[in-house]
Amino acid sequence: MENLIQSLTERVKQAASNNTPLAIHGGNSKSFYGGAIRGDALDLRAYTGIIDYEPKELVLTVRAGTPLQEIETALEAAGQMLPFEPPYYADTATIGGTVATGLSGPRRPYTGAVRDFVLGTRIINGKGEDLSFGGRVIKNVAGYDVSRLMTGAMGTLGVLLDISFKVLPKPTDEITLRFEMDEATAIQRFNEWAGKPLPISATSWHQGVAMVRLSGAAAGVKAAREKLGGEAVADAQAFWRDLRDHRAPFFEDAEPLRRLSVPSTTSPLSLDLPQWIEWGGALRWVKGAADVKVLREKIASVGGHATLFRHGDKSVGVFHPLAPVLAKIHVNLKAAFDPDNILNPGRMDNFS
Amino acid sequence: MAALPETNIAASRAALAGRLSGILPPDALLTEAEDLKPYECDGLSAYRALPMLAVLPQTVEEVQRILRVATETETKVVARGSGTGLSGGATPLGDGILMSMAKFNRIVSVDPLARTARVQPGVRNQKISEEVAYLGLYYAPDPSSQIACSIGGNVAENSGGVHCLKYGLTVHNILKIEVVTIEGETATIGSDALDSPGYDLLALITGSEGMLGITTEVTVKLVPKPQLARVVMASFDDVEKAGDAVANVIGAGIVPAGLEMMDKLATEAVEDFVHAGYDLDAEAILLCESDGTPEEVEEEIAKMETVMKASGATACRTSNSESERLKFWSGRKAAFPAVGRISPDYYCIDGSIPRRALAPTLRRTEELSKKYGLRCANVFHAGDGNLHPLILFDANVEGELERTEAVAAELLELCIEYGGTITGEHGVGIEKINQMCSQFSDAEREMFFAVKRAFDEKLLLNPGKAIPTLNRCAEYGRMRVSGGKMPHSDIPRF
């Protein structure tokens, strides 16, 4: 593997000296996401395998090209999980792409996001330097938290090599409850329930139906179920997986799909577009044609941001524009990590 | 860096005070030595310096004005909260401005439905939980200094606490911060939503030791207060067995609310002090806490007791009331002052290791303690691998501080060797700046400087802390070659 790292490092150095951009990829399961892809492909799939996993440490270290499936299978065997419930979008998903896109699944508001569980990374920066930040221990405050900075940076700051995560035991019991209620009531309830000591691990609202997943020790789940009411759902696992991976029919057509990340208590947005709410109200998926400028202004006015997630016209920008003061810091950071602008240029398209 | 001659400092002080007095209320500017004295050190009191002058802004506009003057005059700025930091992150610079955020002491608003609070950086950590207790909510990170430490300092150091294995560090419990850049511009980092567009600057700034911007407001997450908490106290006749018990608890699929270990010297010191009922025959005791609904706690406590006994606990007691639980914890919480009673001085180490390296690390600690003739009490956030060996010494005895620093340096190098880190939660500051040379390569440290320059091109915010220069590391490398201990402990450390 050290030979492979050597050759990856050489590729980056060469690209920097020739000024030819590189398009970093793993399983291409999320290539639809982010700004347009340009540059020579830099395939990380050969850089694969679990480096270190000791369940009693709650720490896992893996190579970026490792298939997500392989990792989750290994964790499952030890009764543990990646607590952010990573979306796959396709079976080919790798852990590198998971961290680079920074996307988390239904459990996110209740347990944390990808960035909350990244402990350390080894990367190649745009100068072809092989660098390690963070570590394999749960508490670590030596130096700036560059590893979390890599999370969600769309590969624009470095090629991810190794990543260490904190993992958690998988809850032993799980049940999903179904309620019929309107959008405003669902948002209100989700927020009220999150303020109570209940083992909620996922929430969803779509077309008048709210779903609430409870996960934890048997006694706690049972007590919470009695408190909340609702009716138990059979085959709930498939429901949450289809929502996580956008396999539900709502997500399957070619309409522009927007990801609206808003404060969880935001009242119904009344956008007149088909909508699916999760994350206790903090994530609202809408699809269909919309005036981007009007939409962004509206979402910004409630304290959120809008991303064009899939399909639609990317030329108007995929990510929400940054305030000038932040855009300047982004430009500086990009130049610090990748002075020749060769790593996934344009994939994060809200500053330049 | 050589200190400026005193006459130059006086001239610079006068010039700068002239500029600042025009933009600040009179009581917000301190220039007399007697007024500056309270700011000469933080919790790492071995390192002291009088700042050139101190400012106590009360509004964001005042912070902006001060930083604009600092930028124009290229004057360094060190921000300070409550000054409880243990690594010298807020130690002033003799040729710099010390900015106290003490007047930013308001809880701006609480949103019960969203479970968030907007607080100013000078608000004490514990004050937040007290303020929202009536809602059944609290702010989870609970550093031992929580009665005094400020939330701004917590953000600067990414503070943890005894409950962070389950509830996370500061970085996991804040949503948004308002900062002022060194150029005096305001910026909102993070948001009231669960994520923000662009790079994760919130994570980058948390734990950056005041080197990237000045925080003027923090939006924290509040979480439901568990209905019940109980703690199991288990005794072991061998430290390694206690270490195995820790691994077995985690291996059984339990994430305890807190999991702490103390060795014999530590329990003796605290028992004498607070009478927590600790087993004085034990070589090590573990405190293992469960919290949640009564049903959850009952189930988890039963599991914990089974694991402790199977791991060879010689005694096992579980708290049966809130007052008993607090009594069990009182000893752990008082560990530092208790050790302070049995020794004129003590030095706290803050390394983190993978838990499996616990036994060899403790053995090595004992060897070093014998080799250097210094007693060492071990207090340990066992659940997350964060060691706090307390080395007992007397600064008035010639050579003891130097020997203590030598033990600390060797132990931190050992943490790095085991894949751990030189600081789990106290920060690098000036205290551990040399060990940064061992943990990171030249290129990695240069990358840190590049990050700093992305925010602070002229390196004016808290310079000389956290990230050592190449020169400094070269010098440290030469010193380590000559025997592993730190000669010339009188040279300026920043």
Are B199 and A149 within 8 A, CB to CB?
yes
Q: What's the whole-number mean pLDDT along residues B338-360? A: 89
* Strand order from edge to edge, sheet including B345-348: B315-318, B228-236, B284-292, B258-263, B376-381, B386-393, B345-348
Contact A63, A4 (CB under 8 A): no
Given this model, what pLDDT does residue B419 score?
87
Contact A126, A339 (CB under 8 A): yes
| Residue B493 domain flag | no
Are A333 and B114 within 8 A, CB to CB?
no
CATH of the domain at B406: 3.30.70.2740
Query: Do B111 and B94 belong together in one domain?
Result: no
| Residue B184 domain flag | yes
Name the residue facing B444 among A133, A141, A199 (closest C-beta).
Answer: A133
Q: Distance between CA A302 and CA A262 in Å, rounded?
A: 7
| Residue B489 domain flag | no
List the single best residue of A54, A140, A309 to mutate versus B (max B Cβ within 10 A): A140
Query: Do B247 and B325 belong together in one domain?
Result: yes
Give the residue from B77, B100, B123 where a domain finishes.
Answer: B100
Query: Do B123 and B12 belong together in one domain?
Result: no
Q: How does residue B337 score in pLDDT terms, banded at 50, 70 and 90?
A: confident
Q: Check for a shared fold between A173-244 and A249-316.
A: yes
| Residue B488 domain flag | no
Are B195 and A279 within 8 A, CB to CB?
no
Q: How large is the greatest C-alpha to C-alpha distance in chain A, in angstroms?
A: 65
Are B384 and A304 within 8 A, CB to CB?
no
Given this model, what pLDDT does residue B480 score?
53
Query: Do B361 and B289 belong together in one domain?
Result: no
Are B112 and A109 within 8 A, CB to CB?
no
Which of B150, B207, B208, B102 is closest to B461 using CA atoms?
A: B208
Are A265 and B114 within 8 A, CB to CB?
yes
Are B353 and A131 within 8 A, CB to CB?
no
Q: Which CATH class is domain A249-316?
A: alpha beta
Given this model, what pLDDT does residue B356 score?
86
Taking the CA of residue A111 and the nearest CA in chain B, the distance in Å comes to 9
Contact B212, B262 (CB under 8 A): no
Tokens in use for A196?
A: 């109570």
% of residues, chain B, pLDDT over 90: 79
Determine the residue of chain B that is closest to A304 in CA distance.
B193
Taking the CA of residue B87 and the nearest CA in chain A, the distance in Å comes to 12
Are A143 and B467 within 8 A, CB to CB?
yes
Query: Do B359 and B408 belong together in one domain?
Result: yes
Instruction: Report chain B residues whose CB lies below 8 A from the CB of A59.
Output: 354
Instruction: Report chain A residues whose CB lies below 8 A from the CB of B423.
Output: 140-142
Q: How does residue B485 score in pLDDT terms, banded at 50, 70 and 90?
A: very low
CATH of the domain at B80: 3.30.43.10
Query: Do B165 and B238 belong together in one domain?
Result: no
Taking the CA of residue A266 and the nearest CA in chain B, the distance in Å comes to 9
Are A304 and B191 within 8 A, CB to CB?
yes
Q: What are the structural domain ranges in chain A?
A: 2-169, 173-244, 249-316
Are B355 and A57 within 8 A, CB to CB?
yes
CATH of the domain at B156: 3.30.465.10
Q: What's the whole-number mean pLDDT along residues B434-452? A: 95
Instruction: Report chain A residues whose CB lies below 8 A from the CB of B300.
Output: 217
Instruction: Report chain A residues whose CB lies below 8 A from the CB of B454.
Output: 329, 332-333, 335-336
Determine the residue of chain A that is closest to B434 in CA distance.
A142
| Residue B494 domain flag | no
Name the residue facing A196 among B197, B203, B224 (closest C-beta).
Answer: B224
Show the domain range for B168: 107-224
Instruction: Report chain B residues whose CB lies below 8 A from the CB of A112.
Output: 168, 172
Contact B159, B142 (CB under 8 A): no
Given this model, what pLDDT does residue B483 score?
36
Print pLDDT tens along chain A (352 aa). Answer: 999 999 999 999 999 999 999 999 999 999 999 999 999 999 999 999 999 999 999 999 999 999 999 999 999 999 999 999 999 999 999 999 999 999 999 999 999 999 999 999 999 999 999 999 998 998 899 999 999 999 999 999 999 999 999 999 999 999 999 999 999 999 999 999 999 999 999 999 999 999 999 999 898 999 999 999 999 999 999 999 999 999 999 999 999 999 999 999 999 999 999 999 999 999 999 999 999 999 999 999 999 999 999 999 999 999 999 999 999 999 999 999 999 999 999 999 999 7
Residue A175 has φ and ψ, to the nearest 5°, of: -150, 145
Are B451 and A279 within 8 A, CB to CB?
no
Query: Do B272 and B326 belong together in one domain?
Result: yes
Q: Distance between CA B384 and CA A57 in Å, rounded?
A: 8
In terms of C-beta distances under 8 Å and separation of at least 24 residues, what long-range contacts does A237-246 make, across chains too?
Answer: A239/A176, A239/A204, A239/A211, A240/A106, A240/A176, A240/A202, A240/A204, A240/A213, A243/A106, A243/A204, A243/A276, A243/A278, A244/A85, A244/A87, A244/A88, A244/A105, A244/A106, A245/A87, A245/A88, A245/A89, A246/A87, A246/A89, A246/A310
Residues B183-218: tens digit of each pLDDT:
999 999 999 999 999 999 999 999 999 999 999 999
Which of A253, A156, A146, A244 is closest to A201 using CA atoms?
A: A244
Query: Do B252 and B355 belong together in one domain?
Result: no
Name the residue facing A263 among B114, B181, B386 (closest C-beta).
Answer: B114
| Residue B461 domain flag | yes
Determine the residue of chain A that is closest to B138 in CA distance.
A195
| Residue B437 domain flag | yes
What average pLDDT does chain B have? Answer: 92
Q: How does residue B482 score in pLDDT terms, banded at 50, 70 and 90?
A: very low
Determine the residue of chain B that is closest to A221 in CA distance.
B296
Count of CB contacts below 8 A, A vs B? 268
Q: How does residue B7 score in pLDDT terms, banded at 50, 70 and 90?
A: confident
Are A115 and B203 within 8 A, CB to CB?
yes
Determine the residue of chain A that is closest to B303 in CA distance.
A217
Taking the CA of residue B31 and the nearest CA in chain A, the distance in Å comes to 33
Instruction: Report chain B residues whose CB lies below 8 A from the CB of A55.
Output: 250-251
Instruction: Report chain A residues whose CB lies below 8 A from the CB of B452.
Output: 144
Query: Do B87 and B170 belong together in one domain?
Result: no
Query: Do B85 and B64 belong together in one domain?
Result: yes
3-state secondary structure chain B: CCCCCHHHHHHHHHHHHHHHHCCCCHHHEECCHHHHHHHCCCCCCCCCCCCCEEECCCCHHHHHHHHHHHHHHCCEEEEECCCCCCCCCCCCCCCEEEEECCCCCCEEEEECCCCEEEECCCCEHHHHHHHHHHHCEECCCCCCCCCCCEHHHHHHHCCCCCCHHHHCCHHHCEEEEEEECCCCCEEEEECCCCCCCCCCHHHHHCCCCCCCCEEEEEEEECEECCCEEEEEEEEECCHHHHHHHHHHHHHCCCCCCEEEEEEHHHHHHHHHHHCCCCCCCCCEEEEEEEEECHHHHHHHHHHHHHHHHHCCCCEEEECCCHHHHHHHHHHHHCHHHHHHHHCCEEEECCCECCHHHHHHHHHHHHHHHHHCCCCEEEEEEHHHCEEEEEEEECCCCCCHHHHHHHHHHHHHHHHHHCCCECCCCCCCCCCCCCHHHHHCCHHHHHHHHHHHHHHCCCCCECCCCCCCCHHHHHHHHHHHHCCCCCCCCCCCCC
List the single best residue of B358, B447, B461 to mutate versus A (max A Cβ within 10 A): B447
Give the residue from B174, B196, B224 where a domain finishes.
Answer: B224
Residue B7 CB coordination number (10 Å): 8
Residues B114-142: tens digit of each pLDDT:
999 999 999 999 999 999 999 999 999 99
Instruction: Report chain B residues whose CB lies below 8 A from the CB of A146.
Output: 204, 447-448, 451
Answer whether CATH 3.40.309.10 is correct for domain A2-169: no
Residues B41-72: tens digit of each pLDDT:
998 888 899 999 999 999 999 999 999 999 99
Query: Do B203 and B329 belong together in one domain?
Result: no
Given this model, what pLDDT does residue B8 score?
85
Residue B390 has pLDDT above 80, yes or no: yes
Q: Which CATH class is domain A173-244?
A: alpha beta
Determine the residue of chain A that is closest to B199 in CA distance.
A153
Instruction: Report chain B residues whose CB lies below 8 A from the CB of A140.
Output: 352, 420-421, 423-424
Are B384 and A192 within 8 A, CB to CB?
no
Per the structure, how many domains does chain B have?
4
Q: Distance between CA A78 and CA A72 in Å, rounded?
A: 10
Given this model, what pLDDT does residue A206 score?
98
| Residue B94 domain flag | yes
Given this model, what pLDDT does residue A192 score?
98
Give the residue from B288, B320, B337 where a domain finishes.
Answer: B337
